[in-house]
Amino acid sequence: MEFARVVGNVVATRKEEKVRGRKFLVLQPVNLDMKPSGSVKVGVDAVGAGEGELVLFATGSTARQTHLTENRPTDCVIMAIVDSVDVKNERVYDKAEEERSE
């Protein structure tokens, strides 16, 4: 899994029947410094993520392992919302702290 910021959503009126009713979010992958890394992706939301949140996403056939995406044409799913990240015993991300400073 990788980290990403939710930076937007995608609206598509005409889409494959099997992905109807799914929420598509635009993801900007980030590295451990929380800086953008790599190109933007679109993922199906399985956890109720919102814009600006730091999330984890899984790609490939793994993305079909939720009840929302089972046997459906998806290759990227948001499967967790991140509360905190610790690297080498140092906190590099804290959602509560981020919300306080906003």
Residues found near other proteins in the complex (CB under 8 A): 1-3, 31-32, 37, 46-48, 56, 58-66, 69, 77, 79-89, 92
Task: Pick the closer one to other proteins by CB: 14 or 35.
Answer: 35
Nearest distance in Å: CB 18, other proteins: 17
Q: Are 81 and 53 in contact (CB under 8 A)?
A: yes
Task: Pick the closer one to other proteins by CB: 13 or 60.
Answer: 60
Task: Pick the closer one to other proteins by CB: 28 or 62.
Answer: 62
Q: Which two tokens stand for residue 85?
A: 């990240």
Nearest distance in Å: CB 56, other proteins: 6
Q: Are 55 and 80 in contact (CB under 8 A)?
A: yes
Output the CA torsion 51→7→36→79 (10° steps).
60
Nearest distance in Å: CB 4, other proteins: 11
d(CA 91, CA 85) in angstroms, rounded, equals 6
